[in-house]
Structure formats: C-alpha cells, structure tokens
C-alpha cells in the first residue's frame, strides 16, 4: 500500500542527504543573493496539457501523436537533461502522496506530526524526480516554495524524535513545521512555483507543454486543477476493458485485479468512478477509435488544443505514432486463449466502454 513514489525512493536507495545538504546550502545563501523571484511577466506556455489514462489505456498514443506537432513540447524529450534514457517523466509532485495537492488537507491543521510527515513525504517525492536531482536551478525553485510554506525546520534529527506517521519513523530525517495559511494563499504560492518551473522548461519557446499523467489519479477535479494551472487542458484516454483485462493477465500486471473477472470489473468501476464519458471539462478519447479513425480523431485532438493542422510536422508524421502499427493492439482479447465467457461478462457489465 506504500505510495509508488516512496517505493521507488527505497527501492533505488536514493541518498536521503541529497535534499538536506542542498536545502541547507540554499537557506544559507538565500539572504546573500536575490534567490528566486517569480515575475508576473515570466513566459510560460499558452496551454499546459495533461494526457491522462485509466491504467494501460493507451494514453501514450496521444502523447506520441503530439510529439509530432511543431508547437508542442512533450516533457519526455527533456530526458537529455539527465542523460538517462530510462528516466520516468510522469511528474508526480502534484498528485502523489506528499504532492502539492495533499498540502491543502493540512493547511489549517494543528497536528504537527501530520504536517511534518506531509513535508517529509514531499521531500521524498522530490528526491525521486530526475530533473530535481540533476538540475540545481529546479532545486532552487522547489526550495523557495518550501521556504515560503514552512515556519521552522529542524534538520537531521537522527531518529531521536520519531514520527509514526512516516513509513520509517526512526530513519535519519528532519522535522518540519508547516505554516497556517488560506487555500487561496497556498494556491498562489503553487502558481508561482509552477510558472517558474514551466518557464524554465520552455527553452524551445513552444506554446504548449504536454505531460503524461500530471494532474490526476482518477479524480478529474477540474475546478481544483485550474486553481493551480488556469491554462491547463486535459485529455483522458480510455481503452476497451476487455483488452485491458487480457493484457493484465498476459503480463501479470499486479496492480490491476486480474485473477478473477469480477474483481477486474470492480477494479475498472473504481477507476471510472469520477470519469464522465460525456464531460465538457476535458476531452475524452477512446484508444481504439484514435487508432482506427486516426484522421478524424487526430483533428479532434488538435481542435481541442486550438492547434492548426498545418502544425503537424510533415517530417515527423507517423514517426512517433503510426496507427498502422498500433492497430495490432486493438481487439487483442479476440485472439486470447482466456475464457471467452469472461469477455462476455465484461461486455455485459462495461458495455459503454467496449469498442464495437
């Protein structure tokens, strides 16, 4: 049940002193220099696009397609900043446990242990973020944010004051005291942080930033998202649940319930609990339709983002996303050796999401 960001932290054994040493250095120098001053004139992007999925739902197809558009900067291209081809560019610092969204639950709270655990989770989340570990300027952006939300920091307690709200309460850590502030004030600090972060990424002067799974874990709370990023747009990709089930069984995807068809259906229903196929707040794309009706569906995506079709780079067309290749991933359940009765049950229970 441990949040995936923390799992990666302990799995990779990332040096926990990375944050402490650099944060202390930042605090030591912040009064000696101008530090990070966010300007209202900072040039960010005209639109921030988050492409969301429901779990192996094919959101990568839309990400790949947008990689061929001249005005789009897809964040995964930033892997050259870290020289790590295996880096994961799903940015977790908004939505995961310890992310910016979770801070809202504690802004008016007086439980210092819960507040401390929250900030420690945020620190651990940052340490799993490749760009944070490798880029000093991005570190400063986040350090400035922490300086603005913290009342007091007691660095490196060596486990003498354990906090059992943390997964490893006795490991060397620091104690953080969170300021009391209004939601409006906090969101403004987050806006400043994100403006500076996005502006820094806009070295190519593109007008649209595209990211994978940036905003939600099946919450689809668009009002809150726009409180942080007023210019955000969201594309939600879903896939025929029969193919999701067949894939999960074939690949033994442990975080998808797949040992029993009824458990899978329950899992899928949880994933779509807040999802609205007819929503006007975000663009809904069915993976199978995007592949099999690519000309019309790709135009629909561009129209939603306000992009002229002429911005589709002729030299890049089908180099990132080729529907003629991806079509092999449509209807895999039909050739599956699994019981066809299971797929019939899924069709009956989740028919609105099946591709026919």
Gap between the Cα atoms of 143 and 164, Å rounded: 25
Gap between the Cα atoms of 141 and 197, Å rounded: 7
154 vs 82, higher pLDDT: 154
Q: Is 23 helix (H, G, I), strand (E, B) or coil?
A: helix
Gap between the Cα atoms of 282 and 275, Å rounded: 10
280 vs 30, higher pLDDT: 280
The percentage of residues in the chain with a pLDDT greater than 70, rounded to a whole number, is 80
Q: Which sequence spans correspond to the domains of the chain?
A: 1-35+90-205, 46-71+208-356
How far does CA 5 lie from the centroid of its chain? 11
CB proximity list for 306: less than 8 A, separation 6 or greater? 47
> For the chain, what is the mean pLDDT?
83
Average pLDDT over residues 210-234: 88
E strand or H helix that includes residue 214 = none
The CATH topology of domain 46-71+208-356 is Rossmann fold (3.40.50)
Gap between the Cα atoms of 93 and 106, Å rounded: 16
pLDDT in tens, 291-333: 999 999 999 999 999 999 999 999 999 999 999 999 999 999 9
Gap between the Cα atoms of 62 and 241, Å rounded: 18
The pLDDT assigned to 4 comes to 44
Q: What distance, in Å, lies between the first and last C-alpha atoms of the chain?
A: 36
The pLDDT assigned to 172 comes to 57
Here the tokens at position 275 are 């999802």
Give the pLDDT band (50/70/90) at residue 69.
Answer: very high
Here the tokens at position 65 are 């397609």
Average pLDDT over residues 38-60: 79
Give the pLDDT band (50/70/90) at residue 76.
Answer: low
How far does CA 91 lie from the centroid of its chain? 4
The Cα angle at residue 64 between residues 62 and 66, in degrees rounded to 5? 70
- Output the CA torsion sign for 268, 274, 278, 281: negative
User: Is the confidence at residue 13, as pLDDT, over 70?
Assistant: no
What strands lie across the sheet with 72-74, from one edge to the other?
A: 72-74, 208-212, 47-53, 232-238, 283-286
What is the Cα Rg of the chain in Å? 22
CB proximity list for 1: less than 8 A, separation 6 or greater? none
Average pLDDT over residues 346-351: 96
User: Is the confidence at residue 9, as pLDDT, over 50?
Assistant: no
Q: Which region among 65-69, 139-143, 176-180, 283-287 has the lowest average model confidence (pLDDT)?
A: 176-180
At residue 286, φ and ψ (nearest 5 deg) are: -90, 125
The helix-helix angle for 261-271 and 340-349 (nearest 10°) equals 30
User: Is the confidence at residue 17, as pLDDT, over 90?
Assistant: no
- Output the CA torsion sign for 272, 275, 278, 284: negative
Q: Which region among 97-111, 154-168, 238-252 has the lowest average model confidence (pLDDT)?
A: 154-168
Q: Which region among 65-69, 81-85, 216-220, 314-318 has the lowest average model confidence (pLDDT)?
A: 81-85
The string of DSSP codes covering 174-206 is -EEEEPP--HHHHHHHHHHHHHHHHHHH-TT--
The partner residues of 48 in beta bridges, in order of sequence, read: 209, 232
User: Is the confidence at residue 35, as pLDDT, over 90?
Assistant: no
Gap between the Cα atoms of 275 and 58, Å rounded: 16
């Amino acid at each position: 049940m441990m949040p995936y960001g923390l799992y990666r932290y302990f799995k990779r054994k990332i040096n926990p002193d990375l944050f402490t040493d650099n944060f202390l250095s930042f605090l030591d120098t912040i009064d000696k220099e101008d530090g990070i001053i966010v300007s209202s004139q900072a040039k960010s992007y005209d639109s921030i696009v988050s492409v969301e999925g429901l779990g192996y739902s094919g959101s990568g197809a839309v990400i790949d397609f947008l990689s061929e558009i001249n005005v789009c900067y897809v964040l995964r291209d930033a892997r050259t900043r870290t020289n790590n081809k295996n880096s994961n560019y799903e940015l977790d610092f908004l939505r995961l446990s310890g992310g910016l969204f979770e801070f809202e639950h504690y802004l008016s709270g007086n439980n210092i242990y819960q507040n401390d655990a929250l900030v420690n989770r945020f620190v651990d989340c940052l340490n799993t973020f490749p760009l944070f570990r490798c880029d000093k300027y991005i570190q400063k952006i986040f350090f400035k944010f922490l300086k603005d939300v913290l009342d007091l920091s007691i660095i490196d307690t060596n486990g003498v004051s354990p906090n059992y709200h943390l997964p490893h309460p006795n490991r060397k850590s620091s104690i953080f005291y969170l300021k009391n502030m209004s939601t409006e004030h906090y969101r403004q600090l987050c806006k400043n942080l994100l403006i500076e972060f996005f502006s820094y990424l806009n070295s190519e002067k593109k007008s649209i930033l595209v990211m994978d799974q940036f905003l939600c874990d099946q919450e689809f709370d668009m009002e809150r998202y726009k409180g942080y990023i007023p210019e955000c747009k969201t594309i939600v990709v879903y896939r025929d649940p029969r193919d999701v089930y067949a894939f999960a069984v074939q690949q033994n995807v442990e975080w998808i319930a797949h040992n029993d068809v009824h458990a899978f259906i329950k899992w899928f229903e949880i994933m779509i609990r807040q999802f609205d196929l007819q929503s006007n707040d975000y663009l809904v794309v069915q993976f199978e339709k995007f592949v099999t009706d690519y000309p019309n569906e790709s135009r629909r995506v561009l129209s939603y983002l306000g992009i002229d079709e002429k911005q589709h780079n002729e030299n890049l067309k089908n180099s990132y996303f080729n529907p003629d290749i991806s079509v092999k991933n449509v209807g895999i359940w039909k050739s599956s050796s699994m019981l066809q009765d299971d797929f019939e049950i899924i069709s009956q229970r989740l028919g609105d999401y099946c591709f026919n």
